[in-house]
Chains A and B, each alone.
Chain A
Amino acid sequence: MASETTTVKEIPIEIKSAKKSIWLQMKKMKLLYVMLLFPAVMLFIFSYLPMYGVLIAFKNFSPGLGIWGSPWNNFEHFTRLFEDFLFIRALKNTLIISLLKIVIAFPAPIIFALLLNEIRNQKFLKVTQSISYLPHFMSWVILSAMIIEVFSPQRGIVNFIITAFDGDPINFLSSKVFFVPVLILTDIWKEIGYGAIIYLASIASVDPAQYEAAEMDGAGRFKKMIHITLPAIMPMVIILFILRLGGVLNAGFDQILNLYNPLVYEVADIIDTYVYRSGLEQFQFDYATAVGLFKNIIGIIFILGANAIIRRKSEHGIW
Chain B
Amino acid sequence: MVGKKRFSIFEWLLMIGFIIFSILVLYPFWQTLVLSFSDPNQASSLGPNLWPERWIPDAYQFVFGYGDIMQAYANTIVRTLSGTFLIVAFTMLAAYPLSKRDLPYRNTITIFFLIAMFFSGGIIPDYLLVKNLGLLDTRWALILPSAVNVFYIIIMRNYFMTIDKGIEESAFMDGASYFTILTKIILPLSKPVIATIALWAAVFHWNEWFHALVYIQDDSKTVLQMIVRDMLTAMDLSQSANGAAIGGGGGGSSENLLLSNVRAATVMISIGPIVLVYPFVQKYFIKGIMIGSLKG
Contact B207 A118 (CB under 8 A): no
Binds A, one of B60-68, B88-96, B158-166, B245-253: B88-96
Binds B, one of A24-32, A85-93, A98-106: A24-32
* Chain B residues within an 8 Å CB radius of A197: 286, 289
Contact A280 B286 (CB under 8 A): no
Binds A, one of B29-37, B51-59, B187-195: B29-37
Closest to B243 in A: A154
Contact B286 A67 (CB under 8 A): no
Closest to A198 in B: B293
Contact A50 B102 (CB under 8 A): no
Partner of A53, one of B26, B48, B129, B264: B129
**Does A172 count as interface, using CB distance less than 8 angstroms?**
no
Contact A142 B228 (CB under 8 A): yes
Q: Size of chain B's interface in residues, with CB distance under 8 A?
A: 96
Partner of A36, one of B109, B179, B290: B109
Taking CB atoms and an 8 Å cut-off, the chain A residues in 125-151 that contact chain B are: 127-128, 130-135, 137-139, 141-150
A72 shortest CB reach to chain B, Å: 17
Contact A221 B144 (CB under 8 A): no
A23 shortest CB reach to chain B, Å: 8
* Chain A residues within an 8 Å CB radius of B47: 155, 160
Taking CB atoms and an 8 Å cut-off, the chain B residues in 198-241 that contact chain A are: 203, 207-210, 214, 225-226, 228-229, 231-232, 235-236
**Does B45 count as interface, using CB distance less than 8 angstroms?**
yes
Partner of A29, one of B32, B103, B148, B226: B103
Contact B22 A132 (CB under 8 A): yes
How far, in angstroms, from A36 to B109 measured CA to CA in the complex? 9
Q: Size of chain A's interface in residues, with CB distance under 8 A?
A: 87
**Does B170 count as interface, using CB distance less than 8 angstroms?**
no
Contact A293 B122 (CB under 8 A): yes
Taking CB atoms and an 8 Å cut-off, the chain B residues in 261-284 that contact chain A are: 263-264, 267, 270-271, 274-275, 278-279, 282
Can you list 13 A-B contacts (CB < 8 A)? A29-B103, A35-B93, A35-B179, A46-B148, A53-B124, A127-B22, A138-B207, A139-B209, A201-B289, A221-B7, A221-B10, A275-B123, A296-B122
How far, in angstroms, from A22 to B108 measured CA to CA in the complex? 14
Contact A258 B18 (CB under 8 A): no
Contact A50 B122 (CB under 8 A): yes
**Does A169 count as interface, using CB distance less than 8 angstroms?**
yes
**Does A49 count as interface, using CB distance less than 8 angstroms?**
yes
**Does B145 count as interface, using CB distance less than 8 angstroms?**
yes
Contact A43 B120 (CB under 8 A): no
Contact A128 B18 (CB under 8 A): yes
Using a CB–CB cutoff of 8 Å, the interface residues on chain A facing chain B are 22, 25-26, 29, 31-33, 35-36, 38-40, 42-43, 45-54, 56, 67, 115-116, 118-121, 124, 127-128, 130-135, 137-139, 141-150, 152, 154-157, 159-160, 163, 169, 189, 193-194, 197-198, 201, 220-221, 254, 258, 261, 275-276, 279-280, 285, 288-289, 292-293, 296, 300, 303-304
How far, in angstroms, from A54 to B263 measured CA to CA in the complex? 38
How far, in angstroms, from A155 to B182 measured CA to CA in the complex? 56
Q: Provided the pairs A47-B116, A48-B116, A289-B125 are in contact, do residues A31 and B177 lie with their beta carbons within 8 angstroms? A: yes
* Chain B residues within an 8 Å CB radius of A304: 118
How far, in angstroms, from A46 to B127 measured CA to CA in the complex? 10
8 nearest A-B residue pairs (beta carbon): A50-B121, A53-B125, A292-B122, A139-B207, A32-B97, A146-B28, A47-B116, A50-B125
**Does B242 count as interface, using CB distance less than 8 angstroms?**
yes
Contact A160 B267 (CB under 8 A): no
Closest to B47 in A: A160
* Chain A residues within an 8 Å CB radius of B235: 148
How far, in angstroms, from A135 to B275 measured CA to CA in the complex? 10
Contact A300 B118 (CB under 8 A): yes
* Chain A residues within an 8 Å CB radius of B28: 143, 146-147, 149-150, 189
